[in-house]
Structure 1
């Protein structure tokens, strides 16, 4: 019963807080507590071994997946006539959503409580995260028109993940930096978190989930 109350309350919290509203300083340290998709595959890996090393191959695959999605996004924005809101939403749902792993994100947001959630609750949480992410992206999408995007050197993250930094070049100003945290799945490399201005979206949602759990139950499941 407590698990059901927690899940329902958390879903309400996630539904009510947009990513763009993230306050400064929210979220735990980078990478802490992320669930393992699989055991560390490179624990015994030696130092950098060139382009043919397992780490380099993983980084190249992650960058290729992100670049593919970015190319689709930029091509959509550069078409002759500016798309309307419905066209933007349909494009993001059809072409961009598959590059994200919202199920994995939901697992980390819920933490240990995820184990006690019913399948339909897990699905609902992932769906709400997807809806909010895509809605936020749609609101900010037109701001990318005419901007140059540069994919920077990737780096290894925790548990075999890859972090890909992207610089959005702005005329007459400092570039905006985004970090896409990616992990390997059965369907290839996917984004499970986005960091903007040093703030992790998934970490923020997790804080909201835990805050709601404390309000509803008086504690957070460990």
Structure 2
């Protein structure tokens, strides 16, 4: 059984790789505009769009966190379903939250992920990403896009879970080295709720986001 420290380390790598993975050039796949109506095509599109933005902004390349956060918020967040991510991380406790608390939890969890891991954008080096063949039926509503991140060190398997919504495909979970993002946060959320209730979890996320906003970026 994996230790909490190992799970947290894998979680950090997971979200780093999510952001990094969405920015890596996908070889000749980028020669043509990807088809955003398919799940793998959507992620390839985001790769191309965000990479162009990174190359055009010297401040992001220098590690300007506010600029990086703004880029992630505009270029990546629209293609995710944070409400579903939060709901699944909450588990049965989601239904115990009021509509107002649910809205707060989604917003704070979204901010937490962005602030904690957006620095990954400025740390990209000579990495590339390979897309494995998509195994899905035309009428599937949920699929997993499997990729492999190549660079320094061993190849890292990175998988994305997407759902088909009225507004197109959305990413709601990701896996790296056997650890799903939602699974990693579920126990932490449950512990906070058991000790302090739903409102306690909201406050925990708010306090953590304030700490991250006040923290100086690492050199």
Question: Which 4+ stretches in 1 moved above 4 angstroms?
Answer: none
| RMSD, matched Cα | 2.8
Structure 1 residue aligned with 2:42: 65
The offset of 1:137, in angstroms, is 3.3
| Structure richer in helix, relative to its length | 2
Structure 1 residue aligned with 2:180: 200
CA distance in 1, matches of 2:135, 2:93: 30
Choose 1 or 2 for highest CA Rg: 1
Identify which of 103, 121, 126 aligns with 2:83.
103
- In structure 2, list runs of 5 or more residues that go unmatched: 1-5, 12-35, 198-219
The offset of 1:200, in angstroms, is 1.1
The offset of 1:161, in angstroms, is 1.4
CA distance in 2, matches of 1:213, 1:156: 37
CA contact (8 A) 1:22 1:201 kept: no
> 1:195 aligns to what SS in structure 2?
strand
The offset of 1:79, in angstroms, is 3.3
Structure 2 residue aligned with 1:16: none
- In structure 1, list runs of 5 or more residues that go unmatched: 1-19, 26-58, 218-222
1:143-193 C-alpha deviation (Å, 9 max, x unpaired): 324322222223459x8411112222205x322221111111121111101
TM-score, scaled relative to structure 2 = 0.65
TM-score, scaled relative to structure 1 = 0.64
Question: Per chain length, whose mean CA-contact separation is higher, i.e. which structure has more relative contact order (CA < 8 Å, sep 6+)?
Answer: 1
Identify which of 174, 177, 188 aligns with 2:168.
188
1:62-120 C-alpha deviation (Å, 9 max, x unpaired): 11111111222222333373522221111111111101100111111122222232111
